[in-house]
Amino acid sequence: MTPREKQLVRESFPAIREAAVPLALLFYGRLFQLNPALRPLFHQDISVQSRKLMDMLIAVVDSLDHFKELEPMLRAMGQRHAGYGVRLEHYATLKSALLWAFGQGLGAEFFPDVRAAWTAVIDAISAAMMAGAAELPPP
């Protein structure tokens, strides 16, 4: 992530955080719309899952300048998600749904450079999680 991307993410995050609950619900609704087969992977109440998503995003935004320090936690999360049945191809669907939800929440403020910045963050998170999943022995 470039310094400019980090700045754009930090500047746009307060609006995302302020609308955390509705944005998370929009995200999960879109995720299940894009791939209904993902719904059974979520055993917890979506409101609980939404809080976990926002907590993770807060941790990432707070750690943008030392993202490498988060990678062990993200790899472990990728391993847990693989255990839940998340496959590598699901990460692209998640990215699409999350960017869509952010676009809904930020509206006209979701400029192309802000979208690109969030894409870079989501790609970094996904890469770390997929690396963790790849560390697991084959089933």
How many CB atoms sit inside 10 A of residue 20's CB?
17
- pLDDT tens-digit profile of 63-80? 999 999 999 999 999 999
Burial 107-120 (b: 16+ CB within 10 A, else e): eeebeeebbebbeb
- pLDDT tens-digit profile of 104-138? 999 999 999 999 999 999 999 999 999 999 998 87
Instruction: Say what the pLDDT of residue 139 is.
Output: 66
Domains and CATH numbers, the chain: 3-134 (1.10.490.10)
Q: Which two tokens stand for residue 84?
A: 């839940």
